[in-house]
Amino acid sequence: MSVVERIDARGLGTTEAVEVAKRLRALAPGGETVAEPVARIVADVADRGDEALLQHVLRLDREGGSPAEPLVVPDHELDDAVAGLAPELRAALELAIANVGAVARATAHEDRDVELPQGQLVRVREVPVRRAAIYVPGGRAPYPSTVVMGVVTARAAGVDEVVLCSPSDDPVLRAASRLAGADRVYRMGGAHAVSALVHGTESVDPVDVLVGPGNLWVQEAKRQLSGRVGIDGFAGPSDLAVVADADADAELVALDLAAQGEHGAGSLVVLLTSDPVLADAVAQRLERGVGGGAPAAETGAAYAIALVDDAGAGLAVAEAFAPEHLELVGPTVEPLAEGVRSAGCLFVGPGAATAFGDYVVGSNHTLPTDGAARFASTLSARTFRRTMCEVHLRDAAEALAPAGAAIADAEGFVVHAASMRARQNGGTA
């Protein structure tokens, strides 16, 4: 029996496209809830500070490791990690840092002045937060690419102090943090680390923004504390949708889908095509394994192929699905790129593999998941910046006072109205 779900979505309209997208989303099982135990850990660290934090670090992060290891990784360990990098890996990390930085700087806007007819000036300012933290999971493998995506982007935003938090002792991760420009690296992870970074402890200063992926405990802690700190969103399992026509290369499409499936349990990969031949060829490759990877049945990911009427129908399903990553492949599909609104990151053409976006192309791989691309954005400099207005009324106060006071009167705010009227007639009420 095939492990690749096959869906016939031909002959469906726009409304049905939404239902197909829901059916695709349902293929990825929902996660367990850890809200209560996370709340206890968060509160414990908030109440008892370093004492609680170190207890959780020893119990959950170090698994019996030395309590003498400091929370903050010393500078000499970071320098040693850089010195120990293989030359080709260092060059690769520096390329990724340069490209991610260039794209991130393009998302940081200069102040804009708006001159209005009554004579006032409103300056729209973007200002960086003072402190930001990048969470990098330990998990089954280190993720130096996540270090690059977070630290470099925060630096491009102009954040004063950028710290990194990870339970991993991996030297490549530490070297990446040094090359990317992290000010400090904390040797901790989990919900307790999130609480420490948000509330602050004797050893950990609180931050204004906290971003980065992590397990369910980390994401739940971020969710619970999102009212106290800026976050990038709830990072769920990864997903990819590929819309491809008959001219797409089945091997390349299968490689891209399998690469996303490599993220493991909960990941969701989808092919939308009008060509049954391509659908069969891709399914066969996924089921036997491609690119040296495991067969689909052994990855824990969910795979689906939906047959649609044409490229436009495929895009309609993709838009309703709102994938983390979206690939458009083939001459009838690629021209539709301008119409895409609901994707975390869009890759156009057979050469634009999603895997490039995970590492070196310059776009950020911290993206909205689980359909959040309908309203959420990629990690960018703007994640670490906030917008504020600076108002200069000049001589406009007198002109604006009657209108403002009239609205204030209608709302019953008599002192608001008086405050504005006091600016009339040369500053007298």
Among all residues, which ones are annotated catalytic?
Answer: 324-325
CA distance 387 to 155: 17
Burial class (CB in 10 A: 0-12, 13-18, 19+), 77: middle
Round to whole Å and give the CA distance between 407 and 63: 62
The encoded tokens of residue 162 equal: 């950028």
Q: How many residues does the chain have?
A: 429
Cα 260 to its chain centre, rounded Å, is 16
Measured distance CA(158)–CA(372) in Å, rounded? 27
Q: Is 162 helix (H, G, I), strand (E, B) or coil?
A: strand
> How distant is the alpha carbon of residue 201 from its chain centre?
26
- Burial code (b: 16+ CB inside 10 Å, e: under 16) for 255-283 equals bbbbbbbbbeebbbbbbbbbbeebbebbb
Q: Which helix (H) or strand (E) holds 231?
A: strand 230-231
Cβ neighbors of 69 (< 8 A, separation 6 or more) are 62, 187
348: Cβ contacts below 8 Å, ≥ 6 apart: 327, 328, 334, 337
Which residues are registered as beta bridge partners of 273?
Answer: 244, 307
Evaluate whether 378 touches 367 at the Cβ level (below 8 Å). yes
- Could you give the CA distance from residue 342 to residue 135 in angstroms, rounded to a whole number? 26
Helix (H, G, I), strand (E, B) or coil at 55: helix
Run of H or E residues at 326: strand 325-329
Tokens of 252: 């390349």
Distance of alpha carbon 375 from alpha carbon 409, whole angstroms: 36
Strand partners, 272: 243, 306
